[in-house]
Amino acid sequence: MILYSLIIHLYAFLVGLISPLHKKARLMMVGQWRTNSILRNNIDRREKYIWFHASSLGEFEQGRPLMEQIKATHPDYKILLTFFSPSGYEVRKNYDGADVVCYLPFDTPCRVRKFLDLANPAIAVFIKYEFWANYLVELKRRNIPTYIISAIFNRRQVFFKWYGKSYRNVLNCFTRLFVQDDDSRSLLAEYGVNNVDVIGDTRFDRVVDVQSQAGKFPLIERFADKDGVVLVAGSSWKDDEDIFIDYFNEHSDVRLIIAPHEIHSEHLISIQSRLKRPFVCLSEANETNVANKDCIIIDSFGMLSSIYRYGDIAYIGGGFGAGIHNVLEAAVYGIPVIFGPKYDKFKEATDLLARKGAFTINDKDSFYKIMNHLRNSSDAIKSAGSNAENYVKSNTGATNNILKRISL
């Protein structure tokens, strides 16, 4: 633990060092500096708080169904929500499902004790991959029930390396570990961690909730309500766009909705420069000009999960970079999903491939082959889409099962 704490101290020092020149680092440092005052001013020590910690936005979405279920069924508890990453906090700092939202301070012993003294949680819930050793050890020392939800384990993780034995001990700090699959439970059992329940992934509950509440966008509906195939490309990066934009340019019966992962002006200009058919940005669309366009570029955030409803096929970006983005957001609408080669760390992508609800590509040629197969067969689209939807719907229920097992 001494070496671990030294590494965290060094990491905190480096973040502080680069913060004047790096926006995310600066947001993190300023946000953490404000955490203690947020807790002092907003934590009511007469109330009971359940502390949820999400690293970033994706983990927040996994924890959101449980937070909202607790708020609905156990109003005697308050919710404290923390983020480590600015990409989570800055988007959800005003989330009304939590009573208090702030950054999580770096995992050093002094900061940990100060945070827990001020937050005074009755229960702690970490989401998926959050294993902050000093926080976990201190929570156990204080006898605060601590859980991790939607967790998934594999042999590549440090816990299961020859040098990871001391870090593996933090797994024993959890009251229960709620994991996604039997493989995770079996692996943990090999190392003597048996306080484990296979519950599944709360993201399935979340995407079904989002689908049921999906907003309607009349302009996009008008754009999509024409003959041909609508391809929705979500969270795309340049490497993705190099592939599907060329296909769109060459096939006049395909209409395209692009929701890029980054919407800064340079990226939008780059996309526009490669389009050889009529397009419009959503911010500039109206009932007149959208009627004669073949492509809409979504130049605002927060709409993608609803926009998939207008697609016949979805392309999920990120598979040629660090890893694919959320495939479940599209699959829940009963449409086939296509993504790049870097998907092996995502169980839901592997499962969708096995159930023939998704397709993976390695290059432009493989994308063209899959798109031609789907574009030329409405039955192929319908079959793959049905497989995708059935997979999502059959995996719901994790939220309620976790709630039954948490000591409230």
Domain boundary among 200, 229, 262: 200
* Whether residue 191 is found in the same domain as residue 284: no
Is the pLDDT at 12 greater than 80? The verdict is yes
Is the pLDDT at 47 greater than 90? The verdict is yes
What is the rounded average pLDDT for all residues in the chain? 94
Q: Select from 121, 128, 171, 172 the least CA-distant residue to 148.
A: 128
The answer to whether 204 and 396 have CB atoms below 8 angstroms apart is: yes
* Whether residue 167 is found in the same domain as residue 224: no
**Residue-wise pLDDT tens digits, 120-161:** 999 999 999 889 999 999 999 999 999 999 999 999 899 999
CATH of the domain at 297: 3.40.50.2000
Tokens 């689209």 correspond to 381
pLDDT band with cut points at 50, 70 and 90 for residue 19: confident
Alpha-carbon distances, residue 305 vs 16, 49, 154, 314, 331 (angstroms): 35, 30, 29, 11, 10
* Whether residue 232 is found in the same domain as residue 185: no
Domain boundary among 148, 177, 200: 200
Residue ranges of alpha helices (H) inside 86-237 are 86-92, 109-119, 133-141, 165-168, 182-190, 203-212, 218-224
Distance CA 144, CA 147 (A): 10
Domain count, the chain: 2
Is the pLDDT at 318 greater than 80? The verdict is yes
Distance CA 219, CA 117 (A): 51
* Whether residue 109 is found in the same domain as residue 241: no
Residue 67 resides in a domain? yes
93 SS3 class: coil
For residues 101 and 12, the model is more confident at 101
Distance CA 80, CA 73 (A): 17
The residue-averaged pLDDT of 261-267 equals: 91
**pLDDT over 90 percentage in the chain:** 81
pTM score = 0.88
Provide the residue range defining the domain that includes 176. Answer: 29-200
For residues 166 and 101, the model is more confident at 101
Domain boundary among 160, 178, 200: 200
pLDDT of residue 225: 87
Residue 14 resides in a domain? no
pLDDT of residue 355: 96
pLDDT band with cut points at 50, 70 and 90 for residue 165: confident
* Whether residue 152 is found in the same domain as residue 262: no
Q: Select from 153, 127, 170, 163 the least CA-distant residue to 1.
A: 170
* Whether residue 93 is found in the same domain as residue 145: yes
pLDDT band with cut points at 50, 70 and 90 for residue 38: very high
pLDDT of residue 350: 95
256 SS3 class: strand
pLDDT band with cut points at 50, 70 and 90 for residue 162: confident
Residue ranges of alpha helices (H) inside 121-256 are 133-141, 165-168, 182-190, 203-212, 218-224, 238-250
Torsion from C-alpha of 197, 106, 37, 119, nearest 10 degrees: 30
The amino acid present at 81, given as its one-letter code, is: L
The answer to whether 294 and 249 have CB atoms below 8 angstroms apart is: no
pLDDT of residue 223: 92
Distance CA 101, CA 53 (A): 10
* Whether residue 172 is found in the same domain as residue 285: no
pLDDT of residue 178: 97
CATH of the domain at 60: 3.40.50.11720
pLDDT of residue 2: 75
β-sheet bridge partners, residue 279: 295
* Whether residue 187 is found in the same domain as residue 223: no
**Residue-wise pLDDT tens digits, 324-378:** 999 999 999 999 999 999 998 899 999 999 999 999 999 999 999 999 999 999 9
Is the pLDDT at 1 greater than 80? The verdict is no
pLDDT of residue 322: 85
Residue 115 resides in a domain? yes
